[in-house]
Structure 1
Amino acid sequence: MQTYLVGGAVRDKLLGRAAGDHDHVVVGASPEHMLALGYKPVGKDFPVFLHPTSGEEYALARTERKTGRGYHGFAFHADAGVTLEQDLARRDLTINAIAEDARGVLTDPFGGVRDIEARVLRHVSPAFVEDPVRVLRVARFAARFAPLGFAVAPETMALMRQMVRAGEVNHLVPERVWAETRKALAEAQPSAFLRVLRDCGALAVLFPEIDALYGVPQRAEFHPEIDCGVHLELVLDQAAQLAPGDDLVGFCALTHDLGKALTPTLELPRHVGHEHRGIAPLRALAARLKVPTEHAALAELVCREHLNAHRAFELKPATLLKLLSSLDALRRPARLDSFLAACMADKRGRLGHEHDAYPQADYLREARAAAAAVDAAVFVAGGLTGPAIGKAMETARIAAIAALKANHPESGSAV
C-alpha cells in the first residue's frame, strides 16, 4: 500500500499558493484493507475513505470507462492492481495530474509541471471529451488562474468545441452547472469563465441569456467599451475585487443587465427600461439552474433597482425608503452591502472608470441608518396602536431621510 498527495494540493504547492483540501490516492490496497486500518468509507460510486485522525480523503486508485452520456455515464474500476499512472490518466488537466509521495518526490507522467511553468491549461488525454463537466471546470480554472497568466491550450479548446458540437454539454444536469458557475463567480477573474465558455460555444448552450449580450451596443459616452458582453466581463471582475470570494455578489453582477439583450433594435444603443426587461430572463436562468433562493431574489433586486442606486442623490426621501424597504435593508444591513457592491461593480465596470468613486453607497447606508433609528416605542408611548404605528413610523422615517438629504452636499433639494 502506497499513498500519494494528488490534484489541487500538489498543483497549488508548485504555484506557491495556499492549498485547500488535501486529497490522496492509495495504490495497492483494497476496501477491506482500508477498513481494517480504521478508514471510514464515504464514497458512493467508488471507494473513498476518510483518514481516521486527519479526516482527509483517501481514494483507491481507479480507472473509469464511458458507458453513457452526461456526467453520470461512467463505470469505475478500483482494485489493488490499478497503478498510480492509470489513476492520474483519468484526470482532466495535466496540472491536476501530478502526485507527490511522502518524501516529496513527484510523479508527473503528463507534463503537468511543465504546463504550470508555461501557464497552460491542457487536457491529459483524448478521454477528456467523455465528461462534459470538464468544459465548465476548464472555464472555472481559467477564472482562477487567469491573473497568473494561464490560458487554455489550443488543442484543449478544440476538444471542448468538439464536445459542444456533439451535444455533450446539453446533458449536464443543472446542479453541476450551478456548482461550477458558483465557484467560478468566487474566483479572482470571473470574466475568463465567460470567455472560455463563449470561445468553445458552451455559453450559448448553457447561458443563452448571457451569450445574447455580446454584440449588443451601448452609448459610447457612458460605456466606452460599447459591447454589452464586454461590459458584463468588466463588471464581473470589479465584483470579484469589491467582494472577493462572494458568489452572491458575483451572481448579481452576472445577471444585472440581461434586459439589454432584449432592447428593440430601433432603440439601440439606448436601453431605456432594460432593468425591467431583465427580470424575465433572470427568472428563467435562475429557475433552470436551480439557483438558491437568496441569490435569485437579490439578483432580481439588483437588476430592477441598480439604476435607482446610481441616481440615489436624485431620489425623493419616500423613494429612498421604498428602495431600502424592498431590500429589507432596515432588518438586514448586510443585504444592503451586497446590493451596493454589485451596483458599484456596475458603475466601475466600464473602460476608464475602474477607480471611480461611488458616494451613493455611503449615502444609502446613511439613509438606512437614519430610517432604522426610528423607534416604534415612541409611538406606542404616544397612544398609537395597530396600523397607525406603522404609518407613523413610515412618516418619521421619510422625515429622517429628508433631514439627511437636506444636509448632504451631493444631494438635491427634492422632497
Structure 2
Amino acid sequence: MTEIPEKVLALAKAVRDAGGRALLVGGCVRDELMGQQPKDWDFEVYGVEPARLRELLDQFGSVNVVGEAFTVYKLGAHLDISLPRRERKTGRGHRAFFVEGDPGMAVEKAAERRDFTINAILQDPLTGDIIDPFRGRDDLKDKTLRAVSPKTFPEDSLRVLRAAQFAARFEFQIDPETVDLCRMIDLTDLPRERIWGEVEKLLLRAQRPSIGLKWLHELHVIDRLFPEINALIDVPQDPEWHPEGDVFIHTLLTVDRARELIDDLPYPKQVTVMLAALAHDFGKPATTEFLEGRLRSREHEEAGVEPTISFLDKMNIRTLDGYDVRAQVVALVRDHLKPGEFYKKREEVGVGAFRRLARKCDLDLLYRVAKSDSLGRNAEHVPREKWYTAEAQEWFINRVRELDLEQ
C-alpha cells in the first residue's frame, strides 16, 4: 500500500462531510496498483456542486484554476481536482470538444471517456475501495493496454502516441483491437508540442525506448508523422560492421544504450542525448551504396543534418531551460563519428583538435552518443564474440577529462 498524502485524505474527508465523494482516478490509482508511489494525484468529486466545491478547496490554500473548455482546480503542484464530465467531439483538433461537468454523473459513465482501461480505475482513499468498471486490474495483471471504448477512443488522436509511450514505459502489449483503432485514427490535427510531450515520455521514462519506437511503427505513426525515422527501415548495412541488421534496428539498439547512459545528466542534456541517438544515422538512407565490394554510407554524418533539423521542427525542439538542445543535437549528429576517428589517429591527434571539437559540441554528450552507437551493434542474436566494445569512446572521454574540456 502506497502512502497517500495527508492533504489528499483531508480533502476527501471534507468532500464526504459535504455530502459528496472524492475518488482518486487515473495514473495515481494505476501506479499504486503497480506497486509504485504516485507523484501526482487526481480527484474526481461526485455529489458536490461546483460553487460548493470551490468553497471547500479554498479552505486548503491557494487554488489555481486551469483549463479552457473545462475547469480543473490545482492545489499545489501535485493535486488536481475536477468534476466528472462528459465530452463530445465538435471538430478537428485537440481543443474541439464540448465539455460539461456533472457532479451527479454515474462513475461508470464518467470513466467511459478515459483512454485505457488501466487508467479508468478509481479508488476511494478513505475506504480503500476500488471501482473498476472496465476490468483494468485484469489488464494490469496481463500487462495489456486496451481502449476503454471503441466509440470515444478515436476522438483524441493523441491517444495513439500515448499507447506507444505507455507500452514502452510499462513494457505492455497492446490489445489487437486497440491496435486496429489506432491505425485508423487521423493524426494530422496534432500540434507539435503535444507530439513532443509523448515522444519525450517514450524516450526518457521508458527503460527501453525501442519498445515504444517499435509500437510507433506498428501503429503506423512513424510513416505518417516521422518520415526521417521511416526512411531508416530496411536500409541495409555491411554485416561485418553492423551484424545487428538494418539502420532502423541499429537505431533501436542505440537509443536503448543511450537511455542507460543519461540518468546522471540534467534534463535538457538527457533530452539532447536521446534525440541525437535517435537521429544519428538519419543521413544513411541518402548515402548508402554498394562500393568496392561492400555497403558504405560515406559522409552520412553531414547528410544527417538536414533531416535532423526537419525532425526537430516537427516537435518544435529548440531550447529547454536555457540550454540550446537543437544546436547540440545537430552538432552531435554531425560529429558522432569523431571519437572513433580520433582514437584511430590517437598518436597524431593533438590538443588543438580536441579544443576545436569542444567549440562545436559538448564532448561529454558526444562521448555518450558515440558509445551508444558503438554498443548499438550488439543485438542478442549476434554471437557474443562478435560484440563491439566502447574502447575508442572510453579513450576519447578520458582524454577529454585530462584536457579539462568537459562542459
Tell me the TM-score normalized by structure 2: 0.83
Give the structure 2 partner of residue 292 of structure 1: 318
Q: 1:104: which partner in 2?
A: 128
Structure 1: how far apart are the matches of 2:290 and 2:95?
Answer: 46
- 2:355 is aligned to 321
The answer for the alignment partner of 1:261 in structure 2 is 285
Q: Which structure has more strand as a fraction of its residues? A: 2
Provide the alpha-carbon RMSD of the alignment. Answer: 2.1
Q: Partners of 2:257 and 2:161 in 1: how far apart?
A: 22
Cα distance per residue 1:362-393 (max 9 Å; x no partner)? 433343344449xxxxxxxxxxxxxxxxxxxx
Structure 1 position 279 matched with structure 2 position 305:
yes
Farther off after superposition, 297-306 or 80-89: 80-89
Q: 1:307 aligns with which of 309, 319, 337?
A: 337
CA contact (8 A) 2:374 2:389 kept: no
Gaps in structure 2 of 5+ consecutive residues: 1-19
Which shifted more, 71-80 or 242-251? Answer: 242-251
Structure 1: any 5+ residue segments left out of the alignment?
328-334, 374-415
Q: Residue 184 of structure 2 aligns with which residue?
A: 162
Matched, 1:172 2:199: no
| Distance in 2 between residues matched to 1:301 and 1:122, nearest whole Å | 40
Higher helix share goes to which structure? 1
**Which residue pairs with 1:251 in the alignment?**
275
Query: Structure 2 residue aligned with 1:93, among 116, 122, 134?
Result: 116
Report the counterpart of residue 74 of structure 2 in structure 1.
50
Match of 1:363 among 395, 404, 407: 395
Offset, 1:296: 1.7
Q: 1:77 pairs with 100, 103, 123, which one?
A: 100
CA displacement at 1:31 relative to structure 2: 2.4
Q: List, as ranges, runs of 4+ consecutive aligned residues in structure 1 with deviation greater than 6 Å.
A: none
Partners of 1:266 and 1:128 lie apart in 2 by 46
Q: After TM superposition, give the deviation of residue 23 of structure 1 in Å.
A: 1.3
How far 1:254 moved relative to its partner? 0.9
In the alignment, which of 153, 156, 177 is matched to residue 128 of structure 1?
153
Query: What secondary structure is seen at the aligned counterpart in 1 of 2:232?
Result: coil
- Give the conservation status (yes or no) of the 8 Å contact 2:357–2:363: no
Partner SS, residue 201 of structure 1: coil
Q: C-alpha distance in 2, partners of 1:362/1:257?
A: 21
Question: Residue 213 of structure 1 is aligned with which of 229, 232, 235?
Answer: 232
**Matching residue of 1:344:** 371
TM-score by length of 1: 0.81
Contact kept in structure 2, 1:252 and 1:342, CA below 8 Å = yes
In structure 2, what is the equivalent of residue 384 of structure 1?
none
Mean CA deviation greater in 119-128 or 237-246 = 237-246
CA separation of 1:124 and 1:42: change in aligned 2, threshold 3 A: same
Mapped contact 2:222–2:230 kept (Cα < 8 A): yes
Q: C-alpha distance in 2, partners of 1:55/1:240?
A: 26
SS at structure 2 position matched to 1:270: strand
Q: Quick one: distance in 2 between partners of 1:341 and 1:57?
A: 38
Cα distance, 1:319 vs. partner?
2.4
Tell me the residue number matched to 2:258.
239
SS in 2 for 1:363: helix
Deviations 1:82-129 (A, max 9, x none): 232222111100001100002111110011000000110110001111
User: Is 1:181 equivalent to 2:207 in the alignment?
Assistant: no
Structure 2 counterpart SS, 1:289: coil
Max radius of gyration: which structure? Answer: 1
Secondary structure of 1:65's counterpart equals: strand
Assess if the C-alpha contact under 8 Å between 2:289 and 2:296 holds in 1: no
Residue pair 2:288, 2:295 contacting (<8 A) in 1 also: no
Of 234-243 and 110-119, more deviation after overlay is shown by 234-243
SS of alignment partner, residue 306 of structure 1: coil
1:118 maps to 142
Q: Residue 29 of structure 1 contacts residue 79 of structure 1 at CA under 8 Å; is this kept in 2?
A: no
Question: Is the Cα–Cα contact under 8 Å of residues 46 and 103 in structure 2 kept in the other structure?
Answer: yes
Q: What amino acid is the match of 1:122?
A: R
CA distance in 2, matches of 1:41, 1:32: 15
| CA shift for structure 1 position 357 | 3.9
- Structure 2 Cα separation of the partners of residues 152 and 214 of structure 1: 22
8 Å contact from structure 1 (residues 123, 156) kept in 2: yes
| Deviates further, 39-48 or 350-359 | 350-359
The alpha-carbon distance between structure 1 residues 207 and 55, as it changes in their structure 2 partners (threshold 3 A), is: closer
